[in-house]
Structure 1
Amino acid sequence: MIKDFSLSALNMGVLAAFVGYAASFAIVLAGLTAMGASDAQAATGLFFATIGMGICSIWLPVVTRTPAAVAWSTPGAAFLAATAMLAGGFGEAVGALIICAGLIVLTGIVPALGRAVAAIPKPIASALLAGVLLKLCLAPALALGTLPLLVLPIVVAWVVGLAWNRLAAMPLAVVTFVLVLVLAVEPSGHPDAAAVSWAPVLDIVPPSFSLQSAISVALPLYLITMAGQNIPGFAVLELNGYGVNRPSLLRSTGIVSLLIAPFGAIPVNMSAITASMMAGEDAGRDPSGRYWAAVVSGICYVALAFAATAVTSLASLAPTAVITAVAGLALIPAFVAATTAAFSRADQLEAPALTFLIAGSGMSLLGISGAFWGVLAGVAIWGAKAVFQREQPPGA
């Protein structure tokens, strides 16, 4: 194992961890806060989510000898951020997280369930993801209109980073965000340096379960995590020539998600973006040694987990609109990719359009979120139109 280690893998692993964390920690905090978590509960959830993906990113690559990168469910966190708080507060949200993790484990045990998820037309799944991301992707523009002096420097840094290197966009935006906090927040608003703890302060909420939260939050979160993260993550490894045992990886990430969910942590899953970084030649000339990049990223994530309380404390100094603006900037590339895939079929535009509009509207019916109804309506219209098209004679 040691003989496979290389400096290229070390450098890429550190870079991937930094990019992965910097690009999405604000989304995770926004999602947990929207579900009713206090600052301490959000810090606890962030700590365990980071620990979970760190452990998986060390364990799975060592076992499989592949750069099986693991991340938290960024689109899942975005879904939580765009969803109305449940009647039972954060405790009910924790119950939904546990159910979602259980569904991921079940998918690894029952292959038919995975095939059922994969059978959802890709444009419908992409439209669901785009609709879920819409609200947060609007946040930078809305914040720019209300807090221009705080948000404009962050947007400019993001644009400069995007023009230079796509992977540099969010790290530069996050660095600028920190500078804005230091320079623009009143001195009385800064926490005492001695009061910012680098040790995890755990605030645990007893979970509660309901049918409404299972259908309205757990099921859409499961579908978004599978369609938006796991399936693309598997595809990245396979495209780079690595063998993938999908059920085994789903069971592993599902079990870890199940262990961390009671602490308010969002699910962990296969990563697509950081996996593409660590599966390529930049992580080493020898493909058989690139798994070390994922191992290094996992070690970095474990270390970053202990900054959860400090990160949450510092983020709490900023107006909520600025935090959601940073989260929205991070999601714009994913939104573009999702909308492109959603409307890739010229003969099937109405179904994904309806899925996108319902999921993005923020509506709820019978206490169930629009994400569920959007998928239901989209699949129904897709199937009906497919049947009609088959029955139409050629040239009709």
Structure 2
Amino acid sequence: MPRSRLSGRTGSGGSNAAGLIQPVSAGVISAITGFASSFVLVVAGLHAVGASDAQASSGLLAVCVTSGLCCILLAWRFRMPISFAWSTPGAALLVAAASVTDDFAAAVGAFLVCGALIVLCGLWPALGRAITSIPRSIASAMLAGILFPICLAPITAAVEIPWLAIPVIVTWLVFFRLSPRWAVPAAMAVAAIAIVVTAGGGLTAGASLAPTLQFVVPAFDPLVIVSLGLPLFIVTMAGQNVPGFAVMSTFGYTVPPRPVLVASGAGSMIGAFFGGHAINLAAITAAIMAGPDSHPNPEKRWPASVTAGALYVLFGLGAGMATALISAAPPILITAVAGLALLGALVTSITSALETATQRIPAIATFLVTASGVSIVGLGSAFWGLLVGGMVMIVNSLGRRPAD
């Protein structure tokens, strides 16, 4: 079997049985927090671009299965805790792109293009370097602009439906103080209880709770591809894959980019035919499985990713129930839970966007245009945010002397 490619090795395991408990536990925690923290965003995003309840359920199942299988196969192949997840920034983009299209077939066509571009990045490294050469401030500002309206939802929900939203927000705040990792899952649990109580028998009325995959024939609309497919590709690469490689490197792992990008891109393309938007290298949950809490010995952490992958597949079997739960809730409540889940990502994006003083005006321009939600000639605000930010950066740099 291939050995883990590590820049350093530390620690030692105990007995095989005892040594397996720790990484398995890390995988369980990672899978639960990863799924519970953002599955509502995936379903809400798919609904926003025209998916029916059955198609949204199929899409959630598809990204669970494809990301889970990639976790299992690549972690086993390379003996490293390589982990995958659905694109959370991509799901947020779908919510923000509600005005771009309500034709889910066209959205699926954009998902396919995104997956193909990720595969191409793996096969043609020059493309990957071109994407990562987009100024970090601009890419982060675009992501912040996508996240900002969603992160406003808890405020709106607290005003419109205080009896439902305030208990969710208070739960999130308490757990954020005591155990940040469980803040969003706890908030989602409170929201689920509220939805069940208020919906009553209407929760399952007309809903299919059995896990089913629905094949979607894609349609390739150039405007939707430019407005949705390309921004989805950029935020998935810049917001997930690049940080994912960085997290693994932090813990001493040299992850081979080609198989990771090809696997995630191919998985995204397969999942797209069943409504899934995109999968990518995990970043936040990867830190749980790749860090010392998973196992003192870096070479014995890979079972954590295998465990997480198996659980993702199992969680996918509950996609029908998850979709029924979300469909029965007031949309603003679901967006509010998603907003709470994305607050950390918003802070990170804004901090990164404003980090370089000379790029702050282009970054703010990108943020404002993206957050505005404008759609011009059928092209969404994420595209225009990138374009305007790039133009402002070019003009701002004319005649400027390089910093000493």
Q: Identify if the C-alpha distance between structure 1 residues 149 and 311 changes in structure 2 by more than 3 Å, giving closer, same or farther.
A: same
For residues 361 and 123 of structure 1, the distance between their equivalents in structure 2, rounded to whole angstroms, comes to 18
**Which whole-Å CA distance do the structure 1 matches of 2:101 and 2:381 have between them?**
16
Matches of residues 209-224 of structure 1 in structure 2 within 5 Å? Answer: 209-224=220-235
How far apart are 1:65 and its partner, in Å?
Answer: 1.3
Post-superposition offset of 1:168? 1.1
Determine the C-alpha separation between the residues in 2 that align with 1:385 and 1:350.
8
Query: Which residue of the partner structure matches residue 33 of structure 1?
Result: 47
Kindly indicate whether residue 204 of structure 2 is the aligned counterpart of residue 191 of structure 1.
Answer: yes
TM-score (norm 1): 0.95
Give, in whole Å, the separation in 2 of the partners of 1:116 and 1:376: 16
Corresponding residue to 2:76 among 58, 62, 72: 62
**SS in structure 2 of the partner of residue 318 of structure 1:** coil
In the alignment of these two chains, the number of paired residues is 390
Which residue of 2 is the match for residue 122 of structure 1?
136
Cα distance, 1:6–1:245 mapped onto 2, change above 3 Å: same
Residue in 2 that maps onto 1:102 = 116
Distance in 1 (CA, whole Å) between partners of 2:199 and 2:184 is 25
Shift of 1:365: 1.8
Cα displacement (A) at 1:241: 0.5
TM-score, with normalisation over the residues of structure 2?
0.93
Give the corresponding residue for 1:301: 312
Shift in CA distance, 276/389, structure 1 to aligned 2, threshold 3 Å:
same
Relative distance call for 1:342 and 1:366 in structure 2 (3 A) is: same
1:148 to 142, 162, 165: 162
Q: Any conservation in 2 of the 1:104–1:251 contact (CA below 8 Å)?
A: yes
| 2:217 is the counterpart of 1:203 | no
What is the match of residue 33 of structure 2? Answer: 19
Shift of 1:24: 0.4
Match of 1:317 in 2: 328
Spell out, residue by residue over 1:36-72, the C-alpha distance to the aligned partner (whole angstroms, 9 max, x if none): 1111110010010111111011111111211111010
CA distance in 2, matches of 1:170, 1:84: 24
Query: What is the CA-CA distance between 1:191 and the residue it aligns to?
Result: 2.4
State the identity as a percent.
42
| Partner SS for 1:390 | coil
What is residue 9 of structure 1 aligned with on the other side? Answer: 23
3-state SS of paired residue (1:75) = helix
Distance in 1 between the 2:20 and 2:86 partners? Answer: 26
Q: 1:366 aligns with which of 377, 388, 404?
A: 377
**What's the secondary structure of 2:273's corresponding residue?**
helix
Q: 2: CA distance between counterparts of 1:226 and 1:80?
A: 16
Q: Give the Cα–Cα distance (whole angstroms) in 2 for the partners of residues 237 and 137 of structure 1.
A: 28
CA distance 1:257–1:186, change in 2 (3 Å): closer
Query: Are 1:36 and 1:85, in contact at CA under 8 Å, matched by a contact in 2?
Result: no
Q: Specify whether residues 350 and 340 from structure 1 end up closer, same or farther in structure 2 by C-alpha distance, changes over 3 A only.
A: same
Query: In the aligned structure 2, how far is the partner of 1:93 from the partner of 1:196?
Result: 23
SS at match of 1:29: helix
- Taking structure 1 as reference, are residues 134 and 303 closer, same or farther at Cα in structure 2, changes over 3 Å only? same
Measured in 2, the distance between the counterparts of 1:73 and 1:222 equals 10
Report how far residue 178 of structure 1 moved: 1.5
The alpha-carbon deviation at position 272 of structure 1 amounts to 0.7
Amino acid at match of 2:358: D
Could you list the per-position Cα deviations for residues 337-392 of structure 1 after superposition, in whole angstroms to 9, with x for gaps in the alignment? 10011111122210000000111110122211111111122123223323432279
CA distance in 2, matches of 1:239, 1:308: 34
Picking from 150, 166, 183, the partner of 1:136 is: 150
Amino acid at match of 2:244: G
In the alignment, the residues of structure 2 paired with residue 290 and residue 387 of structure 1 have an alpha-carbon distance, to the nearest angstrom, of 49
Check the 8 A contact 2:100/2:380 in 1, yes or no: no
Distance 2:314 2:361 in 1: 46
Q: Does 1:242 align with 2:253?
A: yes
Contact 1:16–1:274, Cα closer than 8 Å, also in 2 = yes
What amino acid maps onto 1:346 in structure 2? A
Give distance in 1, aligned partners of 2:199 and 2:397: 59
Q: Does 1:351 align with 2:365?
A: no
1:383 matched to 2:394 = yes
**What is the CA-CA distance between 1:134 and the residue it aligns to?**
1.0
Residue 191 of structure 1 aligns to which amino acid in structure 2? T
CA-atom RMSD in angstroms: 1.8
Q: What's the counterpart of residue 82 of structure 1?
A: 96
1:163 maps to which of 162, 168, 177: 177
Contact 1:120 1:379 survives alignment (8 Å): no
